[in-house]
Copies of this chain bind each other. A is one copy, B any other.
């Protein structure tokens, strides 16, 4: 299942044009390991010989968020692509305040629990983002 293709289909179906810059940004988000900032995206593309104005990238990311094709992860102001088909995305990080180590992890049970809590508030949570801030195993020993 190609997330890029699916995203393009959604764009088209909502009356938005499929443009070269949008395809490029989608490709970067698709391949990125973690959250990438607008300027990260610009640099990555530059290394591949592609040039894209940063304003364009900002606007494309705004649109993707609006359409729920991407979402903003507030850690370092980056963006993460949402896997299509799975509407609920989950991003969890442990951040060490001493050495700055950043580790992403997953926890399905926590995810379900969070969804339940959201529902109790009448809120439909599409993405959970969480961050544990403290000392990693190296720094607390």
Contacts and interface: CB of A to CB of B under 8 A. Distances in A.
A83 interface: no
A97 B123 CA distance: 11
A128 B128 contact: no
A24 interface: no
A105 B119 CA distance: 13
Contacts of A113: 110, 113
Nearest to A123: B94
**Could you say how many copies of this chain the assembly holds?**
2
Contacts of A68: 97
Nearest to A128: B132
Interface string A111-141: 0011001100111111111111111110010
A133 B125 contact: yes
A133 B126 contact: yes
Interface string A60-97: 00000110100110111100000000000000001011
20 contacts: A71-B97, A72-B133, A74-B76, A74-B131, A77-B77, A94-B118, A94-B123, A94-B125, A96-B123, A107-B117, A113-B113, A114-B132, A118-B132, A118-B134, A122-B136, A123-B137, A124-B134, A124-B140, A125-B132, A129-B130
